[in-house]
Structure 1
Amino acid sequence: MELTTIWFSLIAILWIGYFTLEGFDFGVGMLLPILGRNEKDRRVMINTIGPVWDGNEVWVLVAGGATFAAFPEWYATLFSGFYLPLLLILVALIVRGLAFEYRGKRDDDAWRARWDLAIIVGSYVPALLWGVAFANILRGVPIDADMEYVGGFFNLLNPYALLGGLTTLMLFITHGAVFISLKTDGPIRAEARALAMRLGLGAAVVTVAFLVWTQLDTGSAGSAVAFVLAALALVGGLVAIRAGREGWAFLGTFVAIALGVAGLFLALFPDVMPTSLSDGVSLTTTNASATDYTLKIMTVVALIFTPIVLGYQAWTYWVFRKRISTHHIPDPVPEPAAVAVGDSGGGTTQD
């Protein structure tokens, strides 16, 4: 197997890891105003992803870095052509990360409400725009003979791409609901399980529509198999959540997203960014790749460090594997009252 094919496959694996792991992070954030009826419920929801959300984001950083090093032409065309949506995603991820860190810095309802809004918006925006971006890559965008993107922002807002965005959004919010039911106990667990069933039905309809459209438009035999298995895994996850088997349900949504993303890359190969212009040039694993020497060095580095990263992340999930509920959340500590300074006959007060 050629190194270009190996690195295309590795980049696909990185995106699978990102969507399956960060997907439930986005889902938890999107569900914050629905399941988080009070501060303790919201604390429980945020704490389910608190130890892992930043580690899950590493996958997209590595995917971007690997694309830059292994396929520089793909990286350059993608980030120049999709500049605005990718910038919106980046800003949303930054604001969302700040919200996780700062919402608990002050015991003030208005303060927390503003950061909660940042978490919600910072979860919805990437969940939608990642699907829009990947759908456009599959559909093809205007790339000229110089391998440069010559379209505009509104070229990306076509019906197929918007359906792709709705698909990732629905899958992620379902994945998040299943994760909350898996990681919590008490009333929020039951509510999340019931909500996951309702959301999952909508996600199944949208996902099947998008995958069928993709298969008819650009699919291959390999993508067809992956898409069918993804649909079956999603159905299996819904059956499991209905039976109260949250672990199996989470596995079902996890596998459905993984196989769906794998199918998209199988449908794309050997292109990495096809052109929609008759006189344009599609970017492929061959004409967009780095030199063989670069790919060889990257392969050695990946073989050394990938097992370390996977082991560390697996250990993190194992350590924080137990369920949490509202009785684990302490009551807020009141701010200290003013303390008198001076003698008994009079004086001033200070905070």
Structure 2
Amino acid sequence: METLALVLLGFFAAGYFVLAGADIGTGMLAPHLGRDERERRLVIASFAPFFLGNEVWLIATAGLLVGCFPDLEGELLSGQAPVVVALLAGWITRDMGLWLRGRTGGRAWRAVCDGALVCGSWAIALAWGWLLAALFAGAPGAVATGPVAALTAAAVAALFAVHGLGFAAMRLTGAPYERARRLVGRTGPGKSFALTSVLMGGVPLFAGGGLEIGSYVADDATLGLLVPALLVITPLLVAVQAWTWHAFRHRVTRPSYL
């Protein structure tokens, strides 16, 4: 059961970084990709069908930590409190910008919401980099500091941005697509996204590999209850995610409701 719990934790964490990293990275680059109101709405439409489903993977990861690795979850929440607060603030800010930008017709309001989308996306990416810096150092109970932590946070944020760029180049049309394509270069959108997907999925796995996660595992009774339930739920989550990506596989040609 311990091995299955570890595999599920790595699966959900890697899945979140690959899937949610696409919409976070696209949001980080929204000012460059979309230069006017219609183009910005087109950029948002490229990831609008996915971002809520992608966030489910983070919720699943957090739930798995709480249930199967409670000591690690407690150490992370207490030791990484500033990072967690920054991550949640960025998450809330970004989602509020997405949900509220279409509530009124005012240009100033939409500009504020677009700013919330971009700033929130950058805050999420940098917060993940900050948290991963501590995990890379093998110290989940202490906030990472110093130039190495800053460089790690910047590198992870850059990876988010490049990952989102490949996704945007596969989804957009018109002028936003041309801007994304030029930044992707000769690699091509598909190859770029595939490469960054491997890197995005590998980052949390590499960070977790430096920890003695087995020492944080819950008792056998708890694992015996939770792991079988997760094994039933996981295929359903994967099926819904696959259906969503298949249903919205075509490039966007017009703005969405956001």
TM-score normalised to structure 1 length? 0.69
Coordinate RMSD, CA, aligned: 1.7
For the pair 1:196 / 2:184, whether they are aligned, the reply is yes
Question: 1:296 maps to what in 2?
Answer: 224
Give the residue type in structure 1 aligned to 2:172.
T
For the pair 1:115 / 2:62, whether they are aligned, the reply is no
Question: 1:257 maps to what in 2?
Answer: 200
Question: 2:251 maps to what in 1?
Answer: 323
Question: 2: CA distance between counterparts of 1:160 and 1:68?
Answer: 29
State the secondary structure of the residue aligned to 1:168: helix
TM superposition shift of 1:157: 2.2
Question: 1:167 maps to what in 2?
Answer: 155
- Identity in percent: 32
Give the residue type in structure 1 aligned to 2:247.
V
Equivalent of residue 67 in structure 2, options 43, 56, 69:
69
2:20·2:54 contact (CA, 8 Å) conserved in 1?
yes
Question: 1:240 maps to what in 2?
Answer: 187
Question: 1: CA distance between counterparts of 2:192 and 2:150?
Answer: 27
Question: 2:46 maps to what in 1?
Answer: 48
State the aligned residue count: 256
Q: Which runs of 5+ in 1 are unaligned?
A: 144-148, 198-238, 273-284, 331-351
Could you say which structure has the larger radius of gyration? 1
Give the residue type in structure 2 aligned to 1:102.
L
Structure 1 residues 158-191: Cα deviation after superposition (integer angstroms, max 9, x where no partner): 2222222112111110111111110012222121
Question: 1:185 maps to what in 2?
Answer: 173
Question: 1:17 maps to what in 2?
Answer: 15
TM superposition shift of 1:88: 1.4
Shift of the 195–298 alpha-carbon distance from structure 1 to 2, 3 Å rule, reads same
Shift of the 294–163 alpha-carbon distance from structure 1 to 2, 3 Å rule, reads same
For the pair 1:29 / 2:44, whether they are aligned, the reply is no
Give the residue type in structure 2 aligned to 1:32.
A
TM-score normalised to structure 2 length? 0.93
Give the residue type in structure 2 aligned to 1:158.
G
Question: 1: CA distance between counterparts of 2:70 and 2:205?
Answer: 22
Structure 1 residues 222-251: Cα deviation after superposition (integer angstroms, max 9, x where no partner): xxxxxxxxxxxxxxxxx532xxxx223222
Report which of the two has the higher share of helix: 2
TM superposition shift of 1:258: 1.6
2:125·2:156 contact (CA, 8 Å) conserved in 1?
yes
Question: 2: CA distance between counterparts of 1:52 and 1:185?
Answer: 18
2:184·2:192 contact (CA, 8 Å) conserved in 1?
no
2:135·2:208 contact (CA, 8 Å) conserved in 1?
no
Structure 1 residues 72-129: Cα deviation after superposition (integer angstroms, max 9, x where no partner): 1111111011111101111211121111111011111100000011101110011011
State the secondary structure of the residue aligned to 1:305: helix
Question: 2: CA distance between counterparts of 1:166 and 1:93?
Answer: 18
Shift of the 60–140 alpha-carbon distance from structure 1 to 2, 3 Å rule, reads same
Mapping for residues 80-119 of structure 1, pairs under 5 Å: 80-119=78-117
Question: 2: CA distance between counterparts of 1:174 and 1:107?
Answer: 32
Give the residue type in structure 2 aligned to 1:14.
F
Question: 2: CA distance between counterparts of 1:39 and 1:80?
Answer: 42
State the secondary structure of the residue aligned to 1:323: coil
Question: 1: CA distance between counterparts of 2:70 and 2:240?
Answer: 29
